[in-house]
């Protein structure tokens, strides 16, 4: 299995594939992160037992096999503390969407930004995609800051876009184009 270092100093952190056989570790992580993620990530509330955690990871294993999505974990000091994923990946159209999550132990260390840099590089350079999208709540300041740090542009707000916990929420759409990334000093 490959691992991409996300830090050059201690404590060590890395990005690795997150696979169905890791469902127990993923479930323990979700249990630690659920309250923190609840306001922002609806699927975090769905991985509540081993079967549902396995189903979430299997969904992304199936997407990977079909080349339509992938999921990766972020480990810090050997503990799963977050992740990054291609929510959607359409090589034919040259478009993909990147998503992330983290528990509090993974925040404030640049791990999410580092992980997304690698996913952007993979999509736009290695796979020749033309556009990487980023969707977030306008209220999720940390998520917006990641998009800004990576040079993404806010394209607009989809108002009352989706229901979550009995409330309809807005969604901001950010993007980065291949031509913008090509000259970026942020490339890994």
For a pLDDT cut of 70, what percent of the chain falls above it? Answer: 99
Answer positive or negative: Cα dihedral of 75, 34, 66, 98: negative
**Residue 123: which of 155, 153, 91 has the closest Cα?**
91
Condensed to tens digits (0 to 9), the pLDDT of residues 76-101 reads 999 999 999 999 999 999 999 999 99
State the pTM of this model: 0.92
Structure tokens at 34: 């659920």
DSSP H or E run through 133: strand 131-136
As a whole number of angstroms, the distance between CA 84 and CA 100 comes to 4
Domains of the chain: 4-182 (3.40.630.30)
Burial class (CB in 10 A: 0-12, 13-18, 19+), 188: exposed
pLDDT of 34 higher than 80: yes
């Amino acid at each position: 299995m490959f691992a991409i270092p996300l830090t050059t100093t201690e404590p060590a952190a890395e990005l690795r594939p997150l696979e169905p056989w890791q469902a127990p570790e993923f479930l323990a992580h979700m249990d630690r992160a659920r309250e923190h993620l609840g306001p922002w990530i609806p699927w975090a509330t769905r991985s509540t037992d081993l079967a549902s955690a396995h189903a979430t990871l299997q969904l992304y294993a199936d997407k990977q096999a079909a080349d339509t999505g992938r999921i990766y974990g972020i480990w810090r000091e050997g503990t799963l503390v977050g992740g990054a994923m291609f929510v959607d990946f359409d090589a034919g159209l040259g478009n993909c969407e990147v998503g992330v999550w983290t528990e509090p132990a993974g925040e404030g260390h640049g791990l999410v930004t580092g992980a997304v840099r690698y996913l952007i590089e993979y999509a736009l350079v290695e796979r020749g995609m033309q556009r990487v999208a980023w969707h977030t709540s306008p209220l999720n300041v940390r998520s917006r800051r990641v998009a800004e740090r990576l040079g993404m542009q806010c394209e607009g707000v989809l108002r009352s876009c989706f229901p979550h916990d009995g409330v309809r929420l807005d969604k901001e759409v950010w993007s980065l184009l291949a031509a913008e990334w090509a000259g970026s000093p942020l490339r890994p």
